[in-house]
Amino acid sequence: MMKMKNLMTLFFLMSLSLAIAQTDSVLVNNVQFKDSKFNNPHAGSGFILKHNNKLYGITAKHVLFIAKTDSMKTISFDKQLKSWEFKSKKNDKVSVLAGKLINEDPNEAIEMPPKGDWLIFEIESNIPKDVAVYEVREEPLTIGEKIRFLGYPYKNYKAASVQGSLIGFTPENNLKLNVPKGNYGGCSGGPVLDANGKVVGIVSMGYFNQKEQKMIFEPASLDYFKQIITSKNYEK
């Protein structure tokens, strides 16, 4: 009897581990243009966010530097986009089709640093069952909290999950994290999460400061997302 219980427990743990492994906690941006020479199957990372019972596809605004045509100069596709998918790197058949770009602005230049490093899409398709859907954290953060971020470094088929801690805020109220030195190119647009898995920001600016010999990692906070959702009447 005891042996049977042990086997059942082992089977449960193996099943749980497999389920976690199969969940797409972060996706990549598969961007297709009408002129296919500008297509990019991995234009940074992205994720699905649920807020006030509405679903959004999220990535970083600055990925438009590598997901654009030559004539695109502003935060607008100008009818040149064929499709934007949030796509799994674990299963080629799993993707979420983006709809309207909510914060499209033909008067805002594609520049660094961007004004609020968020691209916010409506969702056109159903969400596959194994794709993670996150929610926003409403409570303010406190210095010293454990924070982690997710994303797909370029050429990696395994998502990075990097643990850090909050060490402060920038003058623009973005986050300042203490994270290990690493090559995180491709992770831009991935979710930044608190200890309970709630979204507190997105992967935005990060680089290694050679002079100070430390990582500078400053995710975009939720401020811009909330501002856009409110101003575009998506709160209703």
Task: Return the CATH number at 181.
Answer: 2.40.10.10
Number of H helices, E strands in the chain: 2, 15
- Residue 26 near residue 151 (C-beta atoms within 8 A): yes
Total count of domains within the chain: 2
Give the pLDDT confidence of 185-196 residue by residue, as tens digits.
999 999 999 999
Mean pLDDT over 157-172 rounds to 94
164 lies in the same domain as 141: yes
125 lies in the same domain as 141: no
Structural domain contains residue 59: yes
Structural domain contains residue 11: no
118 lies in the same domain as 206: no
Q: What is the pLDDT of residue 22?
A: 62
183 lies in the same domain as 210: yes
Give the pLDDT confidence of 115-132 residue by residue, as tens digits.
899 999 999 999 999 999
Mean pLDDT over 109-115 rounds to 92
Mean pLDDT over 42-51 rounds to 98
73 lies in the same domain as 151: no
CA 230, 234, 236 angle in degrees (round to 5)? Answer: 100
Q: How many CA atoms lie within 13 A of 75 on its CB side?
A: 23
Structural domain contains residue 7: no
122 lies in the same domain as 206: no
When pLDDT is cut at 50, 70 and 90, the band that residue 11 belongs to is very low
121 lies in the same domain as 44: yes
What range defines the domain where residue 118 resides?
27-133+225-231
In this structure, what CATH number is given to the domain that contains residue 60? 2.40.10
Residue 197 to residue 149: CA distance in whole angstroms: 10
Structural domain contains residue 79: yes
Structural domain contains residue 38: yes
